[in-house]
Amino acid sequence: MTTLKASLTLFAALAFIAAPLFLIPGFGGFDPNRYPIPQINPPIQPAGYAFSIWGFIYTWLLAMATYGIIGRRTDAEWDNTRTPLILSLAIGASWLSVARVSPLWATILIWIMLITALIALFRTPTKDRWWLEGPVALYAGWLSAASFVSIALLGAGYGFLTDMTGWAWICLSAGVIFAAAIQTSLARAPEYAAGVVWALVAIAVTNWSRDTGITIAALLGCVVMIVLGVKALLGQRSLAR
């Protein structure tokens, strides 16, 4: 079974990485007009450059899955992470296609991706940090930010409670609290914080010249996550000694 799961992890990672290649034209974010209230330039949306992180995430996940086949095929600790990770990556392989036509279903799916990625992350062993824990943590960190962005767009797009600025405040605050709780509970894997910080900086960039309050809030969130990430890094180094 462990050999099968290692193979399925590699297959799921390859499907996840290859998915964007089959989208013509490529995915540039949710279509603003797919919402009852079009979401044009929402303040919660990270600046476009931030999505380049996917190139690094894809590469690291592929390296993880390949090493898992070569060096950790029958490792029980690695195997413990594989089932939720396979599920997350398999859903991710279809996510872009769904996101082009239904922001609602895409939001549901990204939360399933996040939850399963977090289960996998909490199951990662302390050994092989760079081969397993690191890539899963970065992937889960970015998904954490993206999941709250999706909620904000959905809430504002359907006119629930408040407008896009109000939802930006709600989900920015909730997202930082959520991510801080995850990083604190982990007490390791600072790559998780790095993924969240990358998104928060990009949200600050989006709002730099348009909303000072959200810019400051995003940067304060960065400070919180950097502190927690450094604390996790120092704690992980202590465990390694």
The tally of domains found in the chain comes to: 1
Task: Note whether residue 213 is domain-resident.
Answer: yes
Does residue 240 have a pLDDT over 80?
A: no
Q: What is the dihedral of CA 204, 207, 212, 213, to 10 degrees?
A: -70
Task: Note whether residue 29 is domain-resident.
Answer: no
Task: Note whether residue 77 is domain-resident.
Answer: yes
Q: Count other Cβ atoms within 10 Å, centred on residue 105.
A: 12
Q: Please give the share of the chain, as a percent, with pLDDT higher than 70.
A: 94
Model confidence over 197-212: pLDDT tens digits? 999 999 999 999 899 9
Task: Note whether residue 218 is domain-resident.
Answer: yes
pLDDT band at 238 (very low <50, low <70, confident <90, very high): low
Task: Note whether residue 25 is domain-resident.
Answer: no
Distance in angstroms (rounded) separating the CA atoms of residues 198 and 30: 20
* Cis preceding-peptide flag for 125 (omega within 30 of 0): no
Task: Note whether residue 31 is domain-resident.
Answer: no
Model confidence over 127-148: pLDDT tens digits? 889 999 999 999 999 999 999 9
Task: Note whether residue 152 is domain-resident.
Answer: yes
Model confidence over 151-161: pLDDT tens digits? 999 999 999 88
**Residue 151's pLDDT is what?**
96
Query: Which carries the bigger pLDDT value, residue 8 or residue 241?
Result: 8
**Mean pLDDT taken over the chain:** 92
Q: Please give the share of the chain, as a percent, with pLDDT higher than 90.
A: 76
**Residue 25's pLDDT is what?**
57
Q: Position 129: which residue type?
A: R
Sign of CA dihedral 20, 96, 114, 75: negative
What number is the average pLDDT over the span 193-200? 97
* DSSP-based helix, strand, coil % in the chain, nearest 5: 80, 0, 20
pLDDT band at 235 (very low <50, low <70, confident <90, very high): confident
Provide the domain limits for residue 168: 2-18+46-240
Model confidence over 9-46: pLDDT tens digits? 999 999 999 988 876 555 666 778 888 898 888 999 99
The single-letter DSSP state of residue 192 is: H
Residues in the chain: 241
Task: Note whether residue 58 is domain-resident.
Answer: yes
